[in-house]
Structure 1
């Protein structure tokens, strides 16, 4: 085949693939029933080749996009592409088969031309509830995965005739929100069906060039990533961070990373991280791979967003550790671990003197699953993702009130919250003074205050940086810690730790204050008064 023809088609095909996955993403969000996907964007879409190589992914949530790679591999191990048929769909969420945590349901549909699988369309969405011991399926006091919800190995969920009723019935019977689950799965299926149609049409247009052009795009991403690595100095750098415990035992949970860069390859080794813990902060390998993919993408951001970006990487996750736990570890709160793993890689790389040095971000977006009953007995449920502060960099200050690094989730608008639940948001503000000081200050966290208007509710709270701070780099100061408390209607106050379950009664107010990012660089003496110290209560702003 003429190499010039392949080269000429690379950019048109890349744009067509990117357009397809972005339309999958947008359609899935518009069709979703649950606000965490519809408003928060906690979902992802991607396209794969029949051998499981990622060829395109939507511009959405990096936390999920990298994890689709092992999920699709898990589906292919159980259902080889050669045996797939038109109209089939596959479903899974098992962390030991390539999944992340149980609320993230993954749907895969093959794309066939003349009876042969030429690609796979895949989506992942965080579902409101898949069972388990707590509403929302993210119990902060879980000690094993069996308490977290329904665990699905890769299953054939649909045939050309439609969904397998037995699988769907089991899912709905185990969910506290079966209508939302059914609607969200339909949104995922619509998205992979859209992707299959668009990819099939692209394959018809390009004919025999389709497969070699996709191979060339993956090779291009690898070449661009390796070129970025060659331009950086060789060396070895380490970084450590620590979680605020596991929610069960009063033990430190350490995230340690060592980067070894030689030539056009890089090793990322998490040896030295804590053994797996009893609480739910353990992270499956699929989750940590997302953080590694995000890091690799920062090296060559202009490269096509596909499997080639990972080719120069050797990733080591010690078995039985908090970043690669053994069954039956609890994993529902893995986001905290994954985000600190991402911070650790960025922190280690900041010592390399290559590219733009960035201070650690706040650590994790605060996540709450809230389930309640109105005075008339009607049940309601929602999941909140609350942003924090980004780390400053050599280019300037960190952004305030954003979902950092692998997060990229959006906040749920106040109007939506107050429509779907008996809540009033009494304050939503930037938490001034929470960013670390320095030549460039870290981004500030946010303050959000909710009042329950009627009935009763239960909150599963997952925070981070309650007992630690995002460190500054190059002489910058640390960001402020997070805080959360329940102000009871009777005047009493209950302080929440980083992981908690708490009852909520009408008239009580829940106050959430998220952490700030680390500062970058030492502030000049003349600017010390402008470089806030978040450890000083006088500099915490008026919203504390």
Structure 2
């Protein structure tokens, strides 16, 4: 096929490419070893053309990996130029400044050849719980945070590079799990190559680049049309992150003109010597994700849709740190970026944004000895409430801006000497408004281990709760407890057998003033136990007599 391609065939090829990458991601998940990949889906799979441009990505992908793969591939090709690559080679690195921002994300890329011609690259990124070192919310620099894998060939001509595998293995507590996930990607790459080459043959495509040119151009035009439909202007917002000894300021200026959008983080606090700094790749990813959600959520993810977007952040600031800043918890600042962008955009397009969610995502690392007397490190994700939308309430316990899935309790209990004694919704945790923020949750873990266990937390939204927008009220702040006593939100603590650690995640912010909420919606929340009588009276203006009458009527119906 020549350079021209009909719109009909392009649409078919585009859909097939998206389906191909979804199948690749499913292959990775089904053959993986870790819960983080298999259950939480903390991964992304991308297809790039010979010029390194992403033109297809798995539909279910972590936002922090949006747009980062081309930057990683460019750095890899500096070390191994195209002419040095051979069929079956696989490049690997977890360098935070080249990849997605911290050592726990491992990125690999494999070139795809058709005969002697390099036609594409398939790449993937996944999160590994164990990357050596010790999970530490107080690391002073990146060297303390674990093993950094430089750009290397983990496979040469289809054979594993035993030197690379050996030094990775020797730095891990659970090498079978991490190496199992790495090898699962090898299987996914084989599928990607087989399927892509078959597609090119079936569709009679001689020049894949000509096809990707069209895909990227159409995605770019789609984003530009959406941008042009909104008014021009310059808008500002800022948010406070809890930080450590003191709160940290994140500033955002959004400048929109025609079909171009500039997001500028000037004024943001400087980087600090704690692992909360967000490298530029991570900052770009979550900024691009917010723009995609607000302006053009339905078109597929690829490099074309990101062309109208410019991200600026002063070098050395919290969201563009210089080496060797500690970055392990880069989400503790990076997950605020969509909300500070939405805060600015709320002045321009209030119907297209959501209020603050109960994020950055909460998680806990447990470390100790399991029932088989083997050392373990396991992570458990805990979502807060989703921010209210312009047209509806925020869902409870749903993650945003990351989209990792919830951890299955039974699976976690099977892998650790822990018992989950409570998992419940937190009444009144969603911010009041015309549309209410989603509820946070309470989840408690009891140690069943005769040996001491250590847990590590680094939680935000404890000092500064999720904000309501456009007159909506703030959601509830989070809290961490050990045997009912409050503990620091960023800490490493040892717990004995029988002790219980409890986490209460933040609730989402409300949208628009609470007095505008329909009475029937308040009554439903009250009867469902989502809000208390005190909240119905204080936040929504119901009289005490009305509330009592309503509760009595409900008792009568129940009896």
Q: How far apart, in 2, do the equivalents of 1:518 and 1:495 lie?
A: 23
Deviations 1:24-59 (CA, angstroms, capped at 9, x unpaired) = 211111221111111111111111112221111112
Residue in structure 1 matched with residue 189 of structure 2 by the alignment? 192
- 8 Å contact 2:363–2:457 — kept in the other structure? yes
1:98 is aligned to 2:110: no
Q: How far apart, in 2, do the equivalents of 1:69 and 1:371 lie?
A: 35
1:310 is aligned to 2:301: no
Q: How far apart, in 2, do the equivalents of 1:76 and 1:50 lie?
A: 11
Q: How far apart, in 2, do the equivalents of 1:525 and 1:161 lie?
A: 63
Q: How far apart, in 2, do the equivalents of 1:109 and 1:122 lie?
A: 6
Which stretches in structure 2 are left out of the alignment for 5+ residues? 537-559
TM-score norm. by structure 1 comes to 0.92
1:122-141 to 2 correspondences below 5 Å? 122-132=123-133, 134=134, 138-141=135-138
- 8 Å contact 1:282–1:323 — kept in the other structure? yes
Report the alpha carbon displacement of residue 327 of structure 1 after superposing the two structures with TM.
0.9
TM-score norm. by structure 2 comes to 0.90
Residue in structure 2 matched with residue 245 of structure 1 by the alignment? 243
Q: How far apart, in 2, do the equivalents of 1:388 and 1:354 lie?
A: 23
Report the alpha carbon displacement of residue 363 of structure 1 after superposing the two structures with TM.
2.5
Q: How far apart, in 1, do the equivalents of 2:158 and 2:224 lie?
A: 46
Residue in structure 2 matched with residue 217 of structure 1 by the alignment? 215
- 8 Å contact 1:52–1:76 — kept in the other structure? no
Residue in structure 2 matched with residue 38 of structure 1 by the alignment? 38
| The 10-residue stretch of structure 1 (78-87 or 515-524) with the greater mean CA deviation from structure 2 | 78-87
Report the alpha carbon displacement of residue 404 of structure 1 after superposing the two structures with TM.
1.1
Residue in structure 1 matched with residue 172 of structure 2 by the alignment? 175
| The 10-residue stretch of structure 1 (377-386 or 115-124) with the greater mean CA deviation from structure 2 | 377-386
Q: Secondary structure at the match of 1:26?
A: helix
Residue in structure 1 matched with residue 9 of structure 2 by the alignment? 9
- 8 Å contact 2:50–2:209 — kept in the other structure? no
Report the alpha carbon displacement of residue 226 of structure 1 after superposing the two structures with TM.
0.3
Q: How far apart, in 2, do the equivalents of 1:375 and 1:539 lie?
A: 45
- 8 Å contact 1:436–1:472 — kept in the other structure? yes
1:299-378 to 2 correspondences below 5 Å? 299-353=295-349, 355-374=351-370, 377-378=373-374
Q: How far apart, in 1, do the equivalents of 2:33 and 2:489 lie?
A: 29
Report the alpha carbon displacement of residue 224 of structure 1 after superposing the two structures with TM.
0.4
- 8 Å contact 2:67–2:302 — kept in the other structure? no
Residue in structure 1 matched with residue 229 of structure 2 by the alignment? 231
- 8 Å contact 1:113–1:200 — kept in the other structure? yes
Deviations 1:401-420 (CA, angstroms, capped at 9, x unpaired) = 11112x11011111101111
Residue in structure 2 matched with residue 490 of structure 1 by the alignment? none
Residue in structure 1 matched with residue 442 of structure 2 by the alignment? 447
Deviating beyond 4 angstroms after TM superposition, the runs of 4 or more aligned structure 1 residues are 1-4, 525-532, 534-540
| The 10-residue stretch of structure 1 (506-515 or 425-434) with the greater mean CA deviation from structure 2 | 425-434
- 8 Å contact 1:46–1:65 — kept in the other structure? no
Q: How far apart, in 2, do the equivalents of 1:122 and 1:526 lie?
A: 47
Count of matched residue positions in the alignment of Structure 1 and Structure 2: 526
- Tell which structure's C-alpha radius of gyration is larger: 2
> What do you get for the CA RMSD once the two structures are aligned?
2.2
- 8 Å contact 1:232–1:354 — kept in the other structure? no
1:414-493 to 2 correspondences below 5 Å? 414-454=409-449, 455-487=451-483, 493=484
Q: How far apart, in 2, do the equivalents of 1:313 and 1:79 lie?
A: 29
Deviations 1:112-156 (CA, angstroms, capped at 9, x unpaired) = 112121111111111121111x1xxx4211111111111122111
Residue in structure 1 matched with residue 540 of structure 2 by the alignment? none
Residue in structure 2 matched with residue 386 of structure 1 by the alignment? 382
- 8 Å contact 1:428–1:446 — kept in the other structure? yes
Q: How far apart, in 2, do the equivalents of 1:375 and 1:538 lie?
A: 46
Q: Secondary structure at the match of 2:21?
A: helix
- Could you say if the C-alpha distance between residues 313 and 383 of structure 1 is closer, same or farther in structure 2, counting changes exceeding 3 Å? same
Q: Secondary structure at the match of 1:96?
A: coil
Q: Secondary structure at the match of 2:281?
A: helix
Q: Secondary structure at the match of 2:400?
A: coil
Report the alpha carbon displacement of residue 438 of structure 1 after superposing the two structures with TM.
0.6
Deviations 1:238-275 (CA, angstroms, capped at 9, x unpaired) = 111111114xxx12211111100000000000111110
Which stretches in structure 1 are left out of the alignment for 5+ residues? 488-492
- Could you say if the C-alpha distance between residues 192 and 498 of structure 1 is closer, same or farther in structure 2, counting changes exceeding 3 Å? farther
- 8 Å contact 1:356–1:395 — kept in the other structure? no
